[in-house]
Amino acid sequence: MRAYDPHAPLISLHMPKTGGTSLRQSLGEWFPDGRLFTHYFANGQLPVRHDLAGNVCVHGHFNRARGFGCTHYYPDVDQFITFLREPFDRFLSTWFFRSGLRRKGIFTAGSETDTDFKTYLFDCAELMAQNRYLYTFLNQFPDTAHYSESIDLMDRKFVFIGIMERYPESLNTLGLALGKPPSAAAHLNPSEHTEDFESWRGFYETHFAPEYEIYEAALSRNAELIRLYSS
């Protein structure tokens, strides 16, 4: 993985349901005085494009399949950080988050058709098989055509990859990698799990196998970084 260049912009890829709200609090401590920008939809509008120069960071949801990917906005930025999460656990958290909003009459993209978990899971698996699943890691990484390219990208352009299952250790190591002081930010905005869908884990692992390729590669690199900075 590459060393952090504090003189160049940094992009923090907030994968949905991977602690990005918590990470934003830490990034705000590390990039104060207006040097942290966000990349989120606002009032149904696409994220704003910021003018980036020097020691700044952009944090938010990037998705090339939905028209707001990294290279759509910042083609010259070439250093990134992100946190990943066990793929099925992330999928469950997304489902519970969407369901909670839907019960309040708030609909996210496509959630009006989320009639039940099995239907949602099968629909997403079919889209994954057709390479049309919008929320796969592949679409949220800097533009790549294949999962193998995303794994190679980790070594070429990522300063750090955190793992949600190792959140405290990952956050501490990220600070060290960026040359920043420790952050005590807690895990914010968790989704409440109101049902048990564990029986579907095997189905998900089979039909979303490329996601596990990226996750396993991230696990390995995360462990290596934690060992490196703790020695």
CATH number corresponding to 10-230: 3.40.50.300
What local confidence, expressed as pLDDT, does residue 111 receive?
47
Q: What is the pLDDT of residue 19?
A: 84
Does the pLDDT at position 156 exceed 60?
Answer: yes
Per-residue confidence band for 104, with pLDDT thresholds at 50, 70 and 90? low
**Do the Cβ atoms of 59 and 39 come closer than 8 Å?**
yes
Is the confidence at residue 83, as pLDDT, over 80?
yes
The Cα–Cα gap between 153 and 168 comes to 25
In the predicted structure, residue 47 carries a pLDDT above the cut 60: yes
Q: What is the pLDDT of residues 181-218, one digit of tens each?
A: 888 665 555 555 667 899 999 999 999 999 999 999 99
Kind and range of the H or E run holding 160: strand 158-163
- What is the reported pLDDT for 21? 85
Q: What is the DSSP letter of 40?
A: -
Q: What is the mean pLDDT of residues 110-117?
A: 64
Which of 50, 164, 190, 46 has its CA nearest to residue 109?
46
pLDDT at res. 4: 96
The residues with which 84 forms a beta bridge, in sequence order, are 163
CA distance 109 to 86: 23
Q: Tell me, what's the pLDDT at 108?
A: 58
Angle at 200 between CA 197 and CA 203, to 5 degrees: 160
Q: Which pLDDT score, from 0 to 100, does residue 121 have?
A: 94
Average pLDDT over residues 103-111: 56
- 109 is written with which tokens? 């993209």
Task: Provide, rounded to the nearest whole percent, the portion of the chain with pLDDT above 70.
Answer: 88
Query: Which one has a higher pLDDT value, 38 or 114?
Result: 38
Share of the chain above pLDDT 90, in %: 61
Whole-number Å distance between alpha carbons of 209 and 167: 23
Mean per-residue pLDDT over the chain, rounded: 88
Contacts of 92 (CB under 8 A, 6+ apart): 193, 197
Q: What's 104's DSSP letter?
A: T
Q: What is the pLDDT of residues 6-37, one digit of tens each?
A: 999 999 999 988 888 889 999 999 999 999 99
